[in-house]
Structure 1
Amino acid sequence: MRRLFRFITAQVDIARSTIRIGVLKLLYPGLKIIGSTIASGCKIICVKGSVIVIENSFIERGTKIIADHGGEVYIRNSYIGDNCVIVARELIRIEQGTKIAEMVVIRDQDHQINDLSQFNTAPIFIGANVWIGAKVTILKGSDIGDGCVVGAHSIVKNKLDGDAVYVGAPARKIKVITRGDISHIGANNSKHI
């Protein structure tokens, strides 16, 4: 009986996601969502000549993805956890196999000190097979290499080498990852990818 209930619930969630995606595509011509699931409570906004492309990804509940003033967001074959915030005025690119935990903030802009109506922007690149822990903040101009792990509550600014573990504010490299280290990473979340 439980198995049947879970199956029915999953089918209802898929149907609701399909409807959500259809409505979003009607609202925003710069939005492309292909083979992805968008959970309830997500807010996706793509205005003023902006582009958002989400391919084969799972976006959890309460996440906000916003592209404004010509900003571009590309998310490929990735998992985005609950209540994340992704805001682009220039470019945010998240490559395949990346897993982002809950409440992560990724912004490619900040306000100018002398004029809060103006923004400073720089693109953000997140490589393939990256694992980002809960409540991480990724600031403009960041470039996270393939296979990188960023510990919870870290603040990412600038370039992080691939195949390494980073923690802290600002994030500092504490370990280089070897092939034996990564066999178990993300095994529990692979169902969403």
Structure 2
Amino acid sequence: MPHATAPIVLASASPRRSELMALAGITCDVVPADICEDPLPGEQPDEHVMRLSREKALAASALTAGRFFVGADTVVVLEERIMGKPVDEEQAREMLESLSGRTHRVITGITVFDRDTETCQTKSVTTQVIFKELSKREIRDYIATGCPMDKAGAYAIQGGAVHFIRSINGSYTNVIGLPMTELYELLQSARALL
């Protein structure tokens, strides 16, 4: 198992991200960072998630002690349109209907901020996801579970939408919200893990 050289702080309230860190054997403290997640005018999806991951890591570093801070932000992108978390059931239905039978991208920005050196390492990871055709009943029943309401693109691959996905090309953990191979490499590069 990896050994952290100094406390690692995860700047996320997502239980899925905490679980992925634990599965990788990385102990971390959780300090959610509350920032505005609206895209800037003309901002590309990968630029957007990298910026937000940096802002989250830096915001968490202002809230607590620690040396290494991990920020992450995930979006679902369909035809260059960023799909955030649905605001209500109607928007969740619209999102799922638009993803039905089509290919979209899941993009996560990750940042490791080292407070001692005041440096950020940031990258984005993209996974292609192909949905099967969804029936109106499948969409209705899934929305009734409440699961879509706090998920980018209104679905969770590790939850009740697992049977919606015909195939993925790229990182599975990225679709959950934290590309662990790439994050592990950033933490190694920052000398946060031995």
Higher fraction of strand: 1
Q: TM-score, normalised by structure 1?
A: 0.25
Of Structure 1 and Structure 2, which has the larger fraction of its residues in helix? 2
Q: Whose RCO is larger (CA < 8 A, sep 6+)?
A: 2
Q: TM-score, normalised by structure 2?
A: 0.25
